[in-house]
Amino acid sequence: MLTGGLRAQQRHGIVLNEATREPVPDAVISVRGSVAGTSSDAKGKFNIDNISDTLSVSAIGFLPKCVLPGTKDPIVITLTPLEKELDAVVVSGTMRPVKKLESPVSVEVYTPQFFKKNPAPSLFESLQNINGVRPQLNCSVCNTGDIHINGLEGPYTMVTIDGMPIVSSLASVYGLFGIPTQLIDRVEIVKGPASGLYGSEAIGGLINIITRSPEKAPLFTANFMTTGWLEHNFDAGVKFKAGKKTVSLLGVNYYNYQHPLDKNSDRFTDVTLQHRISVFDKLSFTRRNNRVATLVGRYFYEDRWGGDMRWNKSFRGTDSIYGESIYTNRWELIGNYQLPVEEKILFSFSATGHDQNSYYGATPYMGKQKIVFGQLNWDKAIGTGHNLLSGAVLRYNYYDDNSTATIDTLTGKSRPDKYLIPGIYLQDEWKLNCKHLLLMGLRYDHHPVHKSIFTPRLAWKWSLKEKQVFRLNAGTGFRVVSLFTEEHAALTGARVVEIKGSLKPERSYNVNLNYTNHFQWQGISLNMDASAWYSHFTNQIIPDYDTDPNKIIYSNLAGYASSKGVTLNLELNSGNRFKSLLGVTLQDVQKVEKDQQGKAIKQQLMLTEKWSGTWAVTYVFPAAGITIDYTGNVYGPMRLPLLSSTDPRPEFSPVWSIQNIQLTKLAGKQLEFFAGIKNLLNWTPARNTPFIIARSNDPFDKNVQYDVSGKIMATSDNPYALSFDPSYVYAPNQGVRMFAGFRYSLRKTP
């Protein structure tokens, strides 16, 4: 108990994360036995009057704590973080910060600590250890790819940075490259349609990359990794004051791989050679009443090529030695500004420019895309049971290239694709009682070509008991397809693109059931997360490789497509030493069309596995400061794109697995070293097939012969009647390799 002379004094203090010494914002500090109280600001600092007893301190994601403040200022309060993912704060499901356990929408959260278990030079590769999420390579030559969620192709997944949709279809892969991992706070993943809040590209799921707050970031970070294939990756981040009320977090990512290898002996590079740099800067501005104001900028440049081992830049765009060469220039701008009014109204905006200069052999592809996005979001609590979220959005898209997508075939003049899409949305979270929460939402978008598009959503959360939750989500989604920005196969190889009819927007109808529970024994905890889903698609646009081996035919599906399955995640912890994450997904992704007799024909979609599994097992030796991580994934057979009935390659991939092991050694509080082996089983797709790239010896099809009907003839040089095609790819071509590196972090303690 403090003396009466101190009761009227104003005291100063700071709340810190006990594990990282980072400030804890929005912590609630109250005086026991009194109505006096306050909360910490963005820097974890607080002022409080009338201290007459013990302080009670609580914050989302931390264990509550009681503190006897003493007589010295500042009062330093450290809170112990709750390590269980159940207690994470998420924003992606409802666009509002809410405790994961209380969210009516199931959101998976992955922190930098998870990605450290299997370090990779890009977030694209790091996602391979997340259950139900698979990075898919779309080309054996240039190694471009996308992210599959629950078996759906990459364009069905929206990728955002700090909630802003800056990652367009043209840059679906680049949005996950070049972001310094040291500057990532967490990655949130929503599986299933999120179009009700995020618009057209969120028809299959959402990946939201949330960057660190500059106020909470370390003063300096550095991360370097190299591999036995001579791949070098370097991340660095530095925090500094850019004015009295501005804090800057500057990050740089540099990646270099210039050592061509051909271990499968097909005369082509196994992995594209890459040289890229990304510069990232996030500014945070101090304002009254802790109102939000941030500005993020990023510039990305990459020079990548793959192809014939003899290729160099003098052959770029020629038809003598084949290579696929891509130069990418990209800039991004993101801002958040909370309006200076009593209501919680946030204005967010983003702008991006993407310039791609590329050659696929002798075929040029010069694409430019600009996207400007603005959003006004009003978060309003109404009474004691309703929380209303409403907003207005406006999106401008500009796209131009040298393909038939934007060039008038009659005049030869360019006609860039320009359109403006306004939209509004309304969402109500209705807390019926302490156990039941109902979310109802509706979004309206107006497309200049496809006119009015409505996407409703419904979610119900039932808290059976503490940390045991049942969720039901249902909704619709839509997607407007841009072939040349999404379908890499339309640009590479010898196939001719044919578009049948006027393509209509794809529609989806989805239902998702989710159950989570937490079990606790003596020193052992188990988190379980299980889901079942069904998605029904109409007007789906699926490339047809089968009708004519010389063409890729695009049209709206005459029947329907569906994705259904179940998934299970288990997290087991034993003391502070053993931790394991296990995930299993069973799914059925197929299309249904009627034949000429009216009979429904079902077919598994290309490159979709029926089952998969992931794991991450960690064991810590605290006294020695050593951690061992064993990570991996396993995939069931996928249907692969064959060129014809005489193609000798297997129609289905075998069961395959990528497994990795890593050892990390702490060298003090600021430095750690790591080393390990990737792809322990030395698995590559070449192991089970006579060749991966068809006709790699004749990539320009100069020796391919055709009959009078235009079909490829079998000859002594071409016994299987094939043309050049690099689309037969389902797994990385890299075999076993060593890796090593270090991580350094410098923090300022108060």
Q: Cβ contacts of residue 464 below 8 Å, gap of 6+? A: 435, 470
Which residue type occupies 547? T
pLDDT at 379: 92
Phi and psi for 87 in degrees, rounded to 5? Answer: -95, 10
Residue 463 lies in a domain: yes
Q: d(Cα 256, Cα 233) in Å, to the nearest integer?
A: 7
- CA separation for the pair 54, 69 (Å, rounded): 7
| Cβ count near 48 (within 10 Å) | 20
| Single-letter amino acid code for the residue at 502 | S
pLDDT digits (tens, 9 = 90+) for 374-433: 999 999 988 778 999 999 999 998 888 887 667 766 777 778 888 899 999 999 999 888
Which CATH number is 509's domain given?
2.40.170.20
41 and 101, same domain (yes or no): no
Report if residue 261 sits inside a domain.
no
Residues 10 and 126 in one domain: no
Tokens of 709: 């009907």
Residue 67 sits in the same domain as residue 121: no
Is the pLDDT reported for residue 496 higher than 70? no
Q: Do residue 9 and residue 108 come from a single domain?
A: no
Q: Are 123 and 177 contacting, i.e. CB atoms less than 8 angstroms apart?
A: yes
Domain range for residue 232? 86-130+205-242+275-317+325-409+423-746
Classify residue 180: in a domain, yes or no: no
User: 491 with 575, same domain?
Assistant: yes
Q: What is the pLDDT of residues 339-376, one digit of tens each?
A: 999 899 999 999 999 898 999 999 888 888 898 999 99
Which CATH number fits the domain that encloses residue 71?
2.60.40.1120
Which range is least confidently modeled, 191-200, 286-295, 454-463? Answer: 191-200
Q: Evaluate the omega torsion of the peptide bond into residue 155 and state whether it is cis, within 30 degrees of 0.
A: no
Phi, psi of 494 (to 5 degrees): -105, 0
DSSP-assigned letters across all residues of 323-368:
EEEEEEEEEEEEEEEE-SSSSEEEEEEEEEEEEEEEEETTEEEEEE
Say yes or no: 698 and 554 in one domain: yes
Rounded to a whole number of angstroms, the CA Rg of the chain reads 27
- Classify residue 532: in a domain, yes or no: yes
In this prediction, residue 734 carries a pLDDT of 92
Q: Are residues 662 and 721 in the same domain?
A: yes
pLDDT at site 195: 56
Q: Which two tokens stand for residue 68?
A: 């006897």
Residue in this structure with the two tokens 């003839």, named with its chain if needed: 713
pLDDT grade for 1, boundaries at 50, 70 and 90: very low
Q: Is the dihedral of CA 296, 297, 303, 306 positive or negative?
A: positive
Q: b/e string for 220-232 if b means 16 or more Cβ within 10 A?
A: bbbbebbbebebe
CA 521 to chain centre: 34
Distance CA 638, CA 501 (A): 30
Task: Examine the domain organization and report whether 593 and 742 are in the same domain.
Answer: yes
Tell whether 256 is covered by a domain.
Answer: no
Residues 63-86: tens digit of each pLDDT: 677 787 777 788 888 886 654 444
Structural domains counted in the chain: 2
